[in-house]
Structure 1
Amino acid sequence: MNDGGLRERKKRATRLALSQATIRLAFERGLDNVAVEDIAAEANVSERTFRNYFASKAEAVVATHVERGKRTAEALRERPADEPLWDALTGAIAGQFEPPPDAPAPPRIDRYTTALQKLLAEPAVQYEVFRAHAMAQDELTAAIADRTGTAAGDLYPQVVAAVANAGLGTAMAHWTRDPAQSLVALLREVFDQIRAGLPDPR
């Protein structure tokens, strides 16, 4: 790997560490009660480093979603070329939420749900979520265009990316209300319905 690629990986790792630290502390204390210096200390970096990466705590919260969008587009490009598009999309998206074998146990569901809902209700966070969705959709559109031999400005990859993001958002909204269920299973159910053309359930 060249030096440029290594630097980019390190930058992405730092962004992700700061984002995860912000989310952890916000869950424990509430976003308003978390200072930038607390986040920097939690991530073992300087306060200046935090400000080099993020303009606000809300932006840091949502950076995990932004990174996930980039990884999803990268994963789609790495799927087998002969795999059907919606199978590839399902695998690329669901794969971002499958925990590694050595992942720690999740927090208590009741506390997690309340903290997550409160964090997502913050107006500043909602604004950053909107921006993150747009960026993720652009990344996915470009990857779909590459895969299908179209241009990112064409209607087809834009529609597919919009539908995929809507499916992801719907699954996550259901999961946020009840994190005891499997998000990966929800995602696969949503994309199974999309792949089938969303037939009338009656």
Structure 2
Amino acid sequence: MSTPPAGLRERKKLETHRTLSATAVRLIGEYGLDQVTVDDIAAEAGVSTRTFFNYFASKEDSVLIPHADREQRMTRMLERFAAQPPELGSLAALLAASRADLVEIDRDPREWLTRLRIVLDNPGLTLRALALDAETFAPLAAAVARRSGTDPAKDVFPTLVLSLLGGTISATLRLWSESDGTRPLVELFDEAAALATGLAGPA
């Protein structure tokens, strides 16, 4: 049998990753983090435990990393940010660039509401989520610095912008979760973004 084309292999990897992550969220949402094992997730997804560990280091990561192409998604986010109109301030441009990810969440709200509930109910997962978010800080800070003409090592502005972005997204997700998704996530985000964008550019 011939080897599948690289593009097909990559798509299958992305699909397997998504299947494992969605399965983990569903099982853990139903039975609890401590009651579900990696073997349970793998069996439910129809793969071996060894295959599971080809994609995730732990069951916690299978909840927190819904997509295998994290680096490519960050690249696309930076491209959207760079493409925003120059008259937009850095925070407004970053919020606009982030919106597409929340639109994607709105396409499958039940999975993401369950994922959020699991994270909020388990402090260890919350800390791991913060550690994963921290990995995105440097490229985003560098992009904000380029747009604003600042230095992330010397100026507070890039860090402040990222803090406001994180706060806006966090507040939106928490309210969305607490209301059990009764309103579209992106609608709440647009309201929060409008409130947050009063930040002036650096002097």
TM-score for both structures, normalised by structure 2: 0.71
Deviations 1:123-160 (A, max 9, x none): 32122122123223344323333444555535322221
| 2-structure distance, mates of 1:167, 1:144 | 17
Q: Which of 95, 108, 126 lines up with 2:100 in the alignment? A: 95
In structure 1, the residue matched to 2:164 is 163
| 2-structure distance, mates of 1:141, 1:20 | 31
Is residue 2:33 matched to residue 1:31? Answer: yes
Shift of 1:22: 1.1
Moved more, 139-148 or 170-179: 139-148
Query: CA, structure 1 residues 8+124, in 2 after alignment: closer, same or farther (shift >3 Å)?
Result: farther
Please tell me whether the aligned partners of residues 31 and 119 of structure 1 are also in contact (alpha carbons under 8 angstroms): no
Root mean square deviation of aligned Cα:
3.7
Shift of 1:48: 1.3
Please tell me whether the aligned partners of residues 72 and 92 of structure 1 are also in contact (alpha carbons under 8 angstroms): no
Q: Which of 91, 96, 99 lines up with 1:86 in the alignment? A: 91
List runs of 5+ in structure 2 lacking aligned partners. Answer: none
Shift of 1:190: 1.3
| 1-structure distance, mates of 2:75, 2:153 | 16
In structure 1, the residue matched to 2:136 is 136
SS of the residue corresponding to residue 153 of structure 1 reads coil
| 2-structure distance, mates of 1:137, 1:22 | 27
Q: Which of 175, 180, 183 lines up with 1:181 in the alignment? A: 183
Task: Provide the aligned length of Structure 1 versus Structure 2.
Answer: 190
| 2-structure distance, mates of 1:143, 1:94 | 17
In structure 2, the residue matched to 1:20 is 22
Shift of 1:195: 1.0
TM-score for both structures, normalised by structure 1: 0.72
In structure 2, the residue matched to 1:75 is 77
Please tell me whether the aligned partners of residues 18 and 67 of structure 2 are also in contact (alpha carbons under 8 angstroms): no
| 1-structure distance, mates of 2:99, 2:9 | 28
Moved more, 124-133 or 57-66: 57-66
Please tell me whether the aligned partners of residues 77 and 147 of structure 1 are also in contact (alpha carbons under 8 angstroms): no
Query: CA, structure 1 residues 164+43, in 2 after alignment: closer, same or farther (shift >3 Å)?
Result: same
Is residue 2:120 matched to residue 1:120? Answer: yes
Please tell me whether the aligned partners of residues 70 and 139 of structure 1 are also in contact (alpha carbons under 8 angstroms): no
Please tell me whether the aligned partners of residues 17 and 67 of structure 2 are also in contact (alpha carbons under 8 angstroms): no
Identity of aligned residues (%): 33
| 1-structure distance, mates of 2:97, 2:11 | 20
Shift of 1:20: 2.2
Shift of 1:91: 2.2
Please tell me whether the aligned partners of residues 14 and 68 of structure 2 are also in contact (alpha carbons under 8 angstroms): no
List runs of 5+ in structure 1 lacking aligned partners. Answer: none
